[in-house]
Amino acid sequence: MASAEEIARAADRKDIRNRWLLSAPALVIILVAATGPLLIVLVYSFLTSAAYGGVEWKFSPDAWISVLVERDIFDDTLSLADANITIFWRSVKLALMTTLVTLILGFPTAYFMATRAEKTRDLWLFLITIPFWTNLLIRTFAVLQIIRNEGIINTLLIKAGFISSPIQILFTDTAILIGMAYVYLPLMVLPIYASMEKLDFRLVEAGYDLYASRWQVLRRIIFPLVKPGVIAGSILVFIPAVGAYVTPSILGGGKNMMISNFIELQFGQARNWPLGAALAITVMVVVMIALLVYVRNAGTGEVRRD
């Protein structure tokens, strides 16, 4: 005769099995919706490009080879694909710079919000989220009106007598950086604010009581405690910044192409779907590896104690 413990274990196993069965349809739908498009792109990357767009169902690794190398049209020799590498590096560089700029601007903003009275924090949080009410395209055009040659910045500088002719900001990497920093700044502020709001500021007062400077308090008390928010904000900014399309297209003017624009070009005018698919998968894999390394190092790093 089964003991009470065995009966309880059997009941637990049955309960777990029933829960899995009940959630199985939703899990299947999520799995198919998440991995299905990626599998299609992966399959397309190993096919042959058709003459007028689309693909031919013939296996070919040429798309993956073309990601890093290019074939000479005269003698079929292979050489490094400088254009692809330059575009990829520009995308990563601008994404890292955007992450850094938003961190520099977002950290003090989140600190300011977290140190306000509780009844006013909701107001500041509301103001930070206002940009999300507007379409990304409209926000990008707003930045364009500010930095163009006849925009607000150049007009004020000319009237103030600092410059005699407009500064060319639009259609440069600087314009793309400004636009992406403006667009993604709330994504950095909100996670840091969420961590900083839970911070026990009595620890900060204790640091000052022990004659620590403001920099020491920031580096050894505040920053280590809000590091999870910094990591989350950096991820939320870096990932969309690498694959940004609208902002580089408008503010870069096609002169400073990023990887998303290059991928769109392969599926559009170039009619090379396999190469576009291979580039998309490559970007996704590189970003995943970089984020895993970053999160692992940031998560296992210990705070120095002097």
- CATH at residue 123: 1.10.3720.10
Residue 230 belongs to domain spanning: 82-300
Tell how strand 69-71 and strand 48-49 pair up. unpaired
Residue 292 falls within a domain, yes or no? Answer: yes
Same domain as 93, residue 32: no
Residues 20 and 124 in one domain: no
Tokens of residue 161, six digits: 């007598």
- Residue 302: CA count within 13 A, CB half-sphere: 3
Residue 94: exposed, middle, or buried by beta-carbon count in 10 A (0-12, 13-18, 19+)?
buried
Rounded (10°) angle between helices 82-114 and 259-267: 130
Same domain, 14 and 157: no
Q: 19 and 164 in one domain?
A: no
Query: Which of 72, 80, 186 lies closest to 139 in space, CA to CA?
Result: 186
As for how many domains the chain has, the answer is 2
Residues 148 and 256 in one domain: yes
Based on the fold, state whether residues 9 and 148 are members of the same structural domain: no
Whether 29 is in a domain gets the answer yes
pTM score of the predicted model: 0.84
Residues 95 and 242 in one domain: yes
Distances (CA, A) of 285 to 27, 42, 128, 239: 24, 12, 32, 12
Q: Helix, strand, or coil here: 79?
A: strand
CA angle 77, 51, 80 (to 5 degrees): 25
Residue 142 lies in a domain: yes
151: tokens are 């925009």
Is residue 305 assigned to a domain?
A: no
Quick one: 217 and 120 in the same domain?
Answer: yes
In the DSSP assignment, the letter for residue 257 is: -
Residue 150 shares a structural domain with residue 93: yes
180 token code pair: 């992406």
Q: Identify whether 76 is part of a domain.
A: no
Q: Answer whether residue 287 is part of any domain.
A: yes
Does residue 276 form part of some domain?
yes
Residue at 98 is within a domain? yes
Per-residue pLDDT of the chain (306 residues; tens, 9 = 90+): 557 777 788 888 888 888 888 888 888 888 888 888 889 999 999 999 888 778 889 999 989 988 988 877 777 777 888 888 999 999 999 999 999 999 999 999 999 999 988 889 889 999 999 988 889 999 999 999 999 999 999 999 999 998 889 999 999 999 999 999 999 999 999 999 999 988 888 888 899 888 888 899 988 999 999 998 999 999 999 999 999 999 999 998 877 789 999 999 999 888 899 999 999 999 999 888 888 877 777 665 544 444
Whether residues 106 and 29 fall in one domain = no
96 and 26: one domain?
no
Q: Based on the fold, state whether residues 29 and 110 are members of the same structural domain.
A: no
